[in-house]
Chain A
Amino acid sequence: MEINAEHVNGLLLAKPKDRIDGTNSRVFEESLVEAIGDSGCSVILDFEELHYISSAGLRAILLTAKKVKNTQGQLVLCSLTEPIKEVFELSGFDKIIPIYANRDEALAALSS
């Protein structure tokens, strides 16, 4: 699966495309962890081009957010569609993973 990861100002900006489901969630998680690297960094997951995520994808994001926190970084999300945002809220993930309206707000929050 494509995650389009790039490093910007010491952050990793990743933009997963289309779907994170039971067929590709492991590949998504491995690609993301590889892009973060051993030394760790904060991560913005931009969901602008994501239109589907299942609990397999939520699991991958939770595991990655825990790893990022262990290296003193923070994983945040931005640009969620309304239905995906609802699923994050139902899962209680909005209480542990910051969600921003767009990429600029996420960048500003992590830079401050």
Chain B
Amino acid sequence: MNTAFSIDLSPDAAEIERINSELDMVGQAEDWPMAFDYNIRLVIEELFMNIVMHGAKNDKCEIELSLESNSEIVKITIIENGVAFNPLTDSSAPDLESDLSERAIGGLGVHLIRNLVDDIDYKRVSGRNSISFSKRK
């Protein structure tokens, strides 16, 4: 079975709820296992919140999120016209070692993304940021 959707989003954290409504439908229709479902949602939220916090400097930022899914793989692409920002190279490295008092905050989102996807790619195309990731079922 092949599934696809595309939605336009504004750079507002509250849009996570709308993203989740779309994912609810696909996840239920395809019977995604709990961990797979969680990881897909997590990676999308991390990428989306990066755009909200770093990329989108004004309300004119337009974000398009699309999903394609087949029996083997889910592929998500997020394209937006915010300032050039590659989360894979422009984010700080996380602190995974310090003790609790010294543990630095930040960089965890991209670290999680890298560890939870099978493939991820960033491109700057025609003044837009385009990031795609895929995860095997």
Contact = CB atoms under 8 A, between A and B. Distances in A.
The answer to whether A and B assemble together is yes
Interface of A: 21-23, 51-52, 54-56, 58-59, 62-63, 65-66, 69, 81-84, 86-87, 90-92, 95-97
A22 B13 contact: yes
Nearest to B100: A96
B100 A66 contact: yes
A23 B108 contact: no
B45 interface: yes
Contacts of B35: 82-83, 86
A19 B72 CA distance: 28
A87 B96 CA distance: 12
A56 B103 CA distance: 16
Contact of B112 (A21, A23, A65, A90): A90
A55 B103 contact: no
Contacts of A81: 34
A23 B16 contact: yes
Interface of B: 13-14, 16-17, 34-35, 38-39, 41-42, 45-46, 48-49, 52, 94-97, 99-101, 103, 105-106, 108-109, 111-112, 115-116
A87 B34 CA distance: 14
Contact of A21 (B16, B34, B108): B16
Contacts of A58: 108
Contact of A63 (B34, B52, B105): B105
A83 B33 CA distance: 11
A54 B49 contact: yes
Nearest to A90: B115
A82 to B, nearest CB: 7
B108 A83 contact: no
